[in-house]
Amino acid sequence: MQWAGDRDRLFPKLDDAQIARIAQRGERRSVRRKEVLWEVGAPRMDFYVILSGTIEIVQPMPGREESITVQGPREFTGDVDLIFGHPAVVEARAGEEGEVLALRREALLALVQTDPGLSELFLRTFLQRRAFLIAHGKGDAVLVGSRHSPDTLRIREFLSRNGRPYTYLDVESDAGVQQLLERFGVRPEDLPALIVRGRLLLRKPTNLEVAEQFGFTNAIDQDKVQDLVVVGAGPAGLTAAVYAASEGLDVLVLESHAPGGQAGSSSRIENYLGFPEGISGQLLAARAFTQANKFGAKFAIARSGGAIRCRERPYSIELEGGGAVKARAVVIASGVKYRSSDIPGVERFEGAGVYHAATHLEEQLCAGEEVAVVGAATPQGRRWSSSRAPCARCTCWCAAPASPRRCPVTSSAASRNCPTSPSGSVPGSSRSRAAVPTWSASGGGTTRPARRRRGTSTTSSS
Ligand SMILES: Cc1cc2nc3c(=O)[nH]c(=O)nc-3n(C[C@H](O)[C@H](O)[C@H](O)COP(=O)(O)OP(=O)(O)OC[C@H]3O[C@@H](n4cnc5c(N)ncnc54)[C@H](O)[C@@H]3O)c2cc1C
């Protein structure tokens, strides 16, 4: 594995004082040569500090394995899955005989809640390791599909937004895909297909089926009465989870799609308090999700709250797809839905040439294509109207700007072919964008969710 200067940042060495603090919560033990400390997909793994010897981190691939790194004395193992309680993405085994300091996950959580110095070091390193795995496509899943398929986009977006590293193979352009499909007996009509841990094959899986493979739904315990159930893990739901869990309450968060909500799809947020330099929505979501997990909040992803029985105590929150959870209090933080364009028949192309976002994922899908961006004055849209636009030719529309400074589209119109709609509305739409709450009250003491949609639209000619 080529580290290009990243190794020191991703595998920092602990000093004597730090090791002594960790030792108070762990146990010293020896490891045998080649002993497996955890396997890929293991439902739980411990945290290790290497005192002597080495630990090799390995990524199993279909039919082979790849060594990611060999860790040495004073280094520690783990990534965010240790905090989230999700199954391991990689495997760890001892290289030589040696000695380690081992902590169970619960002991590690207790440590990060009480030792700010170690908490900062561990969480920062875990997040950076996960970002590295994602950036290099080093995960325990291989997705094979077509970039022209809405289902492929849906699964890619679901994995990306949930911070799960995976390798994507495009059936039309990547070499070696046919042999892989033949080996797993995948027919064209089975695509997109997800190969998990080199063994399990999911054909055209739903988001819930994908989530179940990675332990995203494990937090549901229908018998337990939670102190608080939060519906929705956008910025508002994550905030509620952090505050409630840090006060010692049992918190369960239900999230239909991915932590971060709308903010998770923003390429850069400049106006959130405490981030003067701005922050990407994905990083904000990852940090907030990690913070809530650190305090013990539990998350069930791809599980939607369907209805609340308000007259019962404890409250009963029905889950879409079956089942219910109980809570003494409920916070509904399900956000808003946006109207999309009312161009007749546009739904047929959604996810296959028409996208209601313009994030890095859509950038990959539209790279080198001729693209039209509707709503180009939004933070996402601005990049497409700049000289850094990722497409071959980009036409941008936005509603008439309140002031020239607020709409860079008009100022760069000459170079990027960006007309501002004279009527102040987007082409093909007679309505302006409007937000509607995703939960609405209905009769009989029950509250129900409504369908939601998203904002800025990208249309590629492919
Ligand atoms: C592309 C983009 C860029 C943006 N940029 C900025 C910016 O720069 N600055 C700024 O201030 N704001 C920005 N916003 C707006 C900002 O993201 C929202 O104001 C903020 O996300 C609202 O937070 P929320 O938690 O209330 O709702 P949401 O972010 O909408 O989150 C609601 C969550 O609830 C989940 N949910 C819905 N129904 C259910 C259910 N029944 N069960 C379980 N889960 C459910 C959804 O999946 C979602 O994750 C941007 C929005 C977008 C789309």
Within-domain flag for 443: yes
Q: How far apart are the first and last CA of the chain?
A: 35
* pLDDT average, residue stretch 278-288: 92
Name the more confident of 361 and 443: 361
* pLDDT average, residue stretch 199-220: 92
% the chain with pLDDT above 70? 84
Final residue in a domain of this structure, among 213, 235, 255: 213
pLDDT grade, residue 148 (50/70/90)? confident
Measured from the CB, is residue 438 less than 6 Å from ligand 1? Answer: yes
Within-domain flag for 392: yes
Measured from the CB, is residue 455 less than 6 Å from ligand 1? Answer: yes
Cis omega (within 30 of 0) for bond into 427: no
3-state class (DSSP) for residue 357: coil
Within-domain flag for 29: yes
Same domain for 319 and 291:
yes
Give the chain's length: 462
How far, in Å, is the centroid of ligand 1 from the Cα of 342? 22
**How confident is the model over 336-361, as pLDDT tens digits?**
877 777 888 888 888 778 888 777 77
Within-domain flag for 147: yes
Same domain for 295 and 203:
no
Same domain for 179 and 68:
no
The residue type found at 226 is Q
Within-domain flag for 232: yes
Decide if pLDDT at 142 tops 80.
yes
Residue 281 burial (10 A CB sphere; 0-12, 13-18, 19+): buried
Which pair of tokens denotes residue 310? 């308000």
Name the more confident of 459 and 415: 459
Measured from the CB, is residue 2 less than 6 Å from ligand 1? Answer: no
Which pair of tokens denotes residue 296? 């013990």
Distance of alpha carbon 303 from alpha carbon 333, whole angstroms? 14
User: What is the predicted pLDDT for the residue at 410?
Assistant: 35
3-state class (DSSP) for residue 369: coil
Sign, CA torsion 22/26/29/34:
negative
Decide if pLDDT at 445 tops 80.
no
Same domain for 260 and 373:
no
User: What CATH number is attached to the domain comprising 199?
Assistant: 3.40.30.10
Decide if pLDDT at 230 tops 90.
yes
Distance of alpha carbon 1 from alpha carbon 125, whole angstroms? 18
- DSSP states along 196-254: ETTTEEEES--HHHHHHHTTTTTT--TTSEEEEEEE--SHHHHHHHHHHHHTT--EEEE
Within-domain flag for 63: yes
Same domain for 292 and 198:
no
pLDDT grade, residue 431 (50/70/90)? very low
Same domain for 230 and 201:
no
Measured from the CB, is residue 14 less than 6 Å from ligand 1? Answer: no
Name the more confident of 315 and 42: 315
Which domain, by its residues, includes 98?
7-104
User: What CATH number is attached to the domain comprising 39?
Assistant: 2.60.120.10
Measured from the CB, is residue 262 less than 6 Å from ligand 1? Answer: yes
How far, in Å, is the centroid of ligand 1 from the Cα of 263? 5
Decide if pLDDT at 428 tops 60.
no
Within-domain flag for 202: yes
User: What is the predicted pLDDT for the residue at 373?
Assistant: 85
Same domain for 356 and 326:
no
Final residue in a domain of this structure, among 162, 181, 213: 213
Same domain for 453 and 343:
yes
Mean of the per-residue pLDDT values of the chain: 84
How far, in Å, is the centroid of ligand 1 from the Cα of 337? 9
State the residue for tokens 């979501």.
285
Q: How far is CA 414 from the centre of its chain?
A: 37
User: What is the predicted pLDDT for the residue at 33?
Assistant: 95
Measured from the CB, is residue 333 less than 6 Å from ligand 1? Answer: yes
Measured from the CB, is residue 233 less than 6 Å from ligand 1? Answer: yes
Decide if pLDDT at 330 tops 80.
yes
Distance of alpha carbon 189 from alpha carbon 210, whole angstroms? 18
**How confident is the model over 15-35, as pLDDT tens digits?**
999 999 999 999 999 999 999
Distance of alpha carbon 305 from alpha carbon 237, whole angstroms? 13
Same domain for 205 and 247:
no
**How confident is the model over 47-77, as pLDDT tens digits?**
999 999 999 999 877 677 889 999 999 999 9
How far, in Å, is the centroid of ligand 1 from the Cα of 90? 31
Final residue in a domain of this structure, among 276, 299, 334: 334
- Range name among 79-93, 190-204, 288-302, 399-413 with the lowest pLDDT average: 399-413
User: What is the predicted pLDDT for the residue at 356?
Assistant: 81
Nearest CA to ligand 1 atom 42: 304
Same domain for 309 and 247:
yes
Q: What total of structural domains would you count in the chain?
A: 4
Same domain for 236 and 194:
no
Sign, CA torsion 409/412/416/420:
positive
Decide if pLDDT at 267 tops 50.
yes
Same domain for 462 and 376:
yes
Measured from the CB, is residue 54 less than 6 Å from ligand 1? Answer: no
pTM (predicted TM-score): 0.81
How many helices (H) and strands (E) the chain has is answered by: 14, 25
Measured from the CB, is residue 457 less than 6 Å from ligand 1? Answer: no
Nearest CA to ligand 1 atom 30: 335
CA distances (Å), origin 112, targets 131, 288, 329: 20, 15, 27
Within-domain flag for 109: no
* pLDDT average, residue stretch 135-144: 88
